[in-house]
Structure 1
Amino acid sequence: MYCVAVTFRVHKDHTRAFRARVIRQAKESVDLEPGCSVFDVWTDPERGDEVFLYEIYDDRAAFEAHLQSAHFKAFDAEVAAWVADKKVVTWSGKA
């Protein structure tokens, strides 16, 4: 198993559009990628400019395939200007 956690800080004037687009990205990832079993999107009203993603892949190769997918590349290009900061953390295996 391969876990990916991403925290985005989004420019305030793009938070609504970003949230809608990332929810679509999550659905496409689970629906189109056999190696992606979980893609959750989390927000907190007290941190309205932050969006947290929690993704589970079969392995690192499945995540690398995700990064090369057409739907990910389209998402990444569309939201690039909306994102003020992005932090990615990964884990392998289960403890």
Structure 2
Amino acid sequence: MADYAILVDFRLKPGARGAFRRLIDDNARASVAREPGCRRFDVLEPKGEDDRIVLYEIYDDRAAFDAHMQTDHFLSFDRDSSDLVAAKSVVEFALVLEGSG
């Protein structure tokens, strides 16, 4: 199976950034620490956009991502952050080359 990457773009409700960051940071740390199929989970803040957070995640395959979405830490994040999010978009990718520095 192909490596799997995902980009999630959150548009937050005004003033929600701090609370959202606490929730997503906990989810990102738990995902990398507890999920063998989660290789990368970056939380990005676009410059000049206080109400936007972007995630970049890499998994061994789609099955690993599906397993991620069933974990307690993801389900808690999803539930607890829902009132903080105005809009969300998701783009799925096949990771064809993983660069290294």
TM-score (norm 1): 0.95
**Structure-to-structure mapping, 1:1-95, within 5 angstroms:** 1-94=3-96
Root-mean-square deviation (CA, aligned residues, Å) is 1.0
- d(CA) in 2 for partners of 1:42, 1:21: 14
- For structure 2, the 5+ residue unaligned runs are none
Moved over 4 A (4+): none
Aligned length: 95
**2:12–2:52 contact (8 Å) kept in structure 1:** yes
- d(CA) in 1 for partners of 2:94, 2:46: 27
- d(CA) in 1 for partners of 2:25, 2:76: 14
TM-score (norm 2): 0.90
Which moves more between the two structures, 49-58 or 10-19? 10-19
- For structure 1, the 5+ residue unaligned runs are none
Residue 21 (structure 1) shift: 1.3
